[in-house]
Amino acid sequence: MTAGLVDLHLHTTASDGYHTVPQLIEKITKAGIIAFSITDHDTFDAIDEAEEIARDKNLTFIPGIELSAYHEDREVHILAYYVDQTAKDFVDLLKYFKQERTHRAERILIRLKQHGMTIGMDEVMIEANGAPVTRPHIASLMLKKDYVKTFQEAFYSYLSNNASCFEPKVNISPALIFETIMQCGGVSFIAHPYNFSEDVLLYFINAGVDGLEVNHPSLSGEQRAFLKKLAKSYFLLTSGGSDFHGGQRDDYGNLGKFSATLSDIAAMKQRLSDKKPD
């Protein structure tokens, strides 16, 4: 394969991204990306279409997903690659996550109504269009109804952590997520670990995580260097990507700037091979 960029953190309309799979792939190829993963929240719905288009365009595709857990009341995002999508444990986990996301959205709408913003759950489900319900779906409706001036205002003033209408996701431990990913044939990574201390990262390592996302828009140069050193010290895998969503987030400039490497992908495959029983 010729030299090129690798992006292992991308989102589509299957969760909270703005672009469909074909639109996303068109954008990443224009950015010089030759290997990629779609890591939608709590769903594999974009994977089959992405695999087909990647084959036609001679791109390398790594099936992925992004899950959420909590550690000491702090949300932890976990990326998983090469998971068996048909494994019962994983299917059940995703079904549970989707159900809890809907309940969370219902609680958020109650809070928004207390602030004079009336949004029906039926409107949210239409906005989500079959995808797991996320805060960006609610933010988009807030913007459409002129309750806020910008998408960013919806988050900063109402929906982000510690904002007036914030509701946490279901509380599941990172260790349980790591174990489920491993049992279902995949490898796990802590996504954008910019706000975790070394002690917390060591807890994740001891709990069984396979790797760290060491290249992400949220990370400073100093943080990237620290995470790469930590990964090397503990024989962890490394990954990287733009965490691209598009649309109102206006993060188009990140495509092609936050890359993993082909060696990262090869190391994942080797780790999976090493895990297989003789």
- Binned at pLDDT 50, 70 and 90, residue 1 comes out as very low
- Residue 169's nearest CA partner among 116, 107, 232, 90 is 107
> Cα(241)–Cα(205) distance, rounded to whole angstroms?
21
Write the CB contacts of 263 (distance below 8 Å, at least 6 apart in sequence).
Answer: none
At 235 the pLDDT is 97
Q: Quick one: tokens of 183?
A: 């049992």
Q: What is the pLDDT of residue 175?
A: 97
Angle between helices 88-114 and 135-144 (to 10 degrees): 30
* Distance from C-alpha of 25 to C-alpha of 30, rounded to nearest angstrom: 9
201 half-sphere exposure, CB direction, 13 A CA radius: 24
Sheet strands side by side (includes 5-10): 5-10, 33-38, 60-61
pLDDT score of 183 more than 50: yes
Q: What percent of the chain has pLDDT over 70?
A: 98
79 touches 191 (CB < 8 A): yes
Least confident of 170-174, 194-198, 263-267, 273-277: 273-277
Model pLDDT for residues 106-139, shown as the tens digit of each residue: 999 999 999 999 999 999 999 998 888 999 999 9
pLDDT (average), residues 213-232: 97
Question: How many residues are present in the chain?
Answer: 278
Residue 182, number of CB atoms within 10 A of its CB:
18
DSSP state of 133: P
Contact predicate 26/251, CB 8 Å: no
The model's confidence at residue 277, banded by pLDDT at 50, 70 and 90, is low
Tens digit of pLDDT for each residue in 17-52? 999 999 999 999 999 999 999 999 999 999 999 999
Cα–Cα distance measured from residue 275 to residue 186, given in angstroms and rounded to the nearest whole number? 10
* Long-range interactions of 104-110: CB distance < 8 A, separation 24+: 104/133, 104/167, 104/168, 104/169, 104/170, 105/133, 105/137, 105/138, 107/167, 108/135, 108/138, 108/159, 108/165, 108/166, 108/167, 109/138
The alpha-carbon radius of gyration of the chain (Å, integer) is 18
Global pTM value? 0.88
The pLDDT of residue 248 is 84
Q: Which residues pair with 70 in a beta bridge?
A: 75
* Mean pLDDT, residues 188-198 taken together: 95
Tokens 């060491």 -> residue: 214
pLDDT band at 4 (very low <50, low <70, confident <90, very high): confident
Domain 5-92+171-275 listed as CATH 3.90.280.10: no
| pLDDT for the residue numbered 171 | 87
CA 43 to chain centre: 10
* Cross-strand bridge partners of residue 71: 74
